[in-house]
A and B are shown apart, each in its own frame.
Chain A
Amino acid sequence: MKILAFAEQRDGKFKKSAFEATQAAAGVAAKLNAELITVVVGNSLDGILSDLGKYGANKIIAIQDPHLERYSTTAYAKVIAETAQKEGATILFFSASQMGKDLAPRIAAKLNAGLASDCTAIRIEGSEVIATRPVYAGKALIEIKINSPVKIFALRSNVFTATPRDGAQVSIDNVKPELTDGDFTSKVIDVKVAEGRPDVTEANIIVSGGRGMKGPEHFQQIEKLADILGGAVGASRAVVDAGWRPHDEQVGQTGKTVSPTLYIACGISGAIQHIAGMSSSKFIVAINKDKDAPIFQIADYGIAGDLFEILPPLTEEFKKLLGK
């Protein structure tokens, strides 16, 4: 039996979620006594491929071509699905990143495979892979299994571990894809990168602000704390709708789903739609002057006070601790 993991790279660098997917797939392969094939798609990637060995990959198929340097949904889906078919892989792992969520459904349709999106846990029962995923804004969880011959799982970022171990030997199989113009019916022509801070979906620490921040000018305090902690800035929908913050910072049901190690909510009440996006954070800190705010129901630690009194000394205290 063969298992395929797709290891996403952008700009010649692997995403952390690529290591998470590889390591999770390696774990499943070990339990099912299966062979793991890790697939990488792009161009000029020779220098980074062996990094995957540290996360349990031993056989890598690298599909490289100048035309694949930039992402194309149609072309990437084609080369990955063809590899899965050629190798006879029956279980495929993706990360539920923006690329993974774009690719996996197309590949599922190509392979007539069932797809489990945004899984937060995977376990093996007999020979069955069982996935857990949150539904209804995280109010409930379901366990699902897939009954088609080919099964695809996309794993939520930041939930599965990626711990490097001493790299085992990797074998690298370079494959030159056969592609025509017709395979690039959609293609990325440019990428606009927001400078500076990490994205909320990838950050280990998020400092998030809500309507309690009183105005866009006060978000400086959030940014400062985020920068000291090397974290991302998040926002509630209330402040995004008010135009105080860009909508790519919005956390919640109509924003992004995040699972950082630490989520610091400042002046956020904790509406169910906000919690939907951040309840899988490992530690939650709430700063809110209303001690009955629902955010305290899910917070690990809280200060029930005025954030304008608390944020400056908090930032100083972290600065001291981190020697910055």
Chain B
Amino acid sequence: MKCIVCVNHVPDTEAKIKVGADGKYIDKAGINHILNPYDEFATEAILQLKEKNGGETLAITLGGDSHKETLRKALAMGVDKAILLKDDSVRDSLSVAKALAEELKKHTPDFILFGKQSIDYYNEQIPGMVAEILGLPSVTAVVKLTVEDKKVICHREIEGGQEIVETTYPVVISAHKGLNEPRYPSLKGIMASKTKPITEIQPIAVAPVVETITMFKAQSKQAGKIVGTDAAAVPELVRLLHEEAKVI
């Protein structure tokens, strides 16, 4: 079984965000980047697929040299090989998806795993786009995955419940929190990751069509009113919600 995970390299959630001089993107200076948290669930999923079914695992990312750090993390978790589609230019989701699909095609994967979303832009676009370009079925926001012979059963999260989706592989799946508990890289894994190969490939160029006009800091809200410190404040709080905010 051939299983591939696509991973992204994103700013740490604690990072202080500063709008860069161009007014469109963040100033990356001094910002710590991590393997996108949802992609850890996706990576764990392909490792488990290999453990059950044998085969090989591969991690792919598209980005600049700094993305190698994230590939090393996937390798340290246990992924066999990694590919860096090396490209630092501004892309939108469709242009990333087209380049990923072009590379994925060459490997004839059985399972292509993604995270549900990147936590920088929350786009939640690339998995569906890649699946469509490759003509494969896709199941997004998956919290449970079972494979029986050729049949794939996924539970995906919807509002107020779960959908149980039946499909077959080759398939594209995006992983949601709850799918599994990502393993921590072992010391041995970390050592081994240093010698595992990262192949660099020039991805196909695709011009972006989604254009950022401007980025600005979210206005920090005025801290509100502390109505009191104990139960005596309850009637006033309810009155404010009813009469001032008019939400009840």
Which residues from chain B contact A279 at a C-beta distance below 8 Å? Answer: 218, 221
**Which residues of chain A from 287 to 306 have any CB-CB distance to chain B below 8 Å in the complex?**
291, 296-306
Contacts of A303 in B (CB 8 A): 226-230, 233-234, 237
Provide the residues of chain B in CB contact with A97, threshold 8 Å: 159
Q: Is the interface of B mostly helix, strand, loop or mixed?
A: mixed
Choose the segment among A38-46, A51-59, A82-90, A133-141 that binds chain B (4+ C-beta atoms closer than 8 Å): A133-141
Contact of A117 with B94 in the complex, beta carbons under 8 Å? no
Identify which of residues 261-310 in chain A touch chain B, using a CB-to-CB cut-off of 8 Å. Answer: 261-262, 272-273, 276, 279, 282-285, 291, 296-306, 309-310
Cross-chain contact of B162 among A74, A116, A191, A272 (Cβ < 8 A): A191
A186 at interface by CB-CB < 8 Å: yes
Report B77-114 residues with CB < 8 Å from chain A CB.
Answer: 92-94, 97
Known: A144-B210, A314-B234. A301 touches B240 (CB 8 A): yes
Assess whether B139 is interfacial by the CB under 8 Å rule: yes
Q: How far is the CA of A171 from the CA of B140 in the complex (A)?
A: 34
Contact A314 B238 (CB under 8 A): yes
Total count of chain B residues near the partner, CB < 8 A: 86
Chain A nearest Cβ from B169, distance in angstroms: 11
CB-based nearest A residue for B125: A105
Indicate if B212 sits at the interface (CB-CB under 8 A). Answer: yes
Q: Answer whether residue A173 sits at the interface, using C-beta atoms and an 8 A cutoff.
A: no
- B133 contacts the other chain (Cβ, under 8 Å)? yes
Of A22-30, A61-69, A246-254, which stretch is located at the interface? A246-254
Chain A hits for B234, CB < 8 A: 303, 310, 313-314, 317
**Are A192 and B132 in contact (CB-based, < 8 A)?**
no
Smallest distance from the beta carbon of B135 to chain A beta carbons, Å?
A: 9
Q: Is B1 an interface residue (CB 8 A)?
A: no
Within 8 Å CB of A13, what residues of B? none
Known contacts A98-B159, A297-B223, A261 near B247 by CB under 8 Å: yes
5 closest A-B pairs by CB: A105-B128, A109-B132, A199-B160, A114-B209, A186-B167
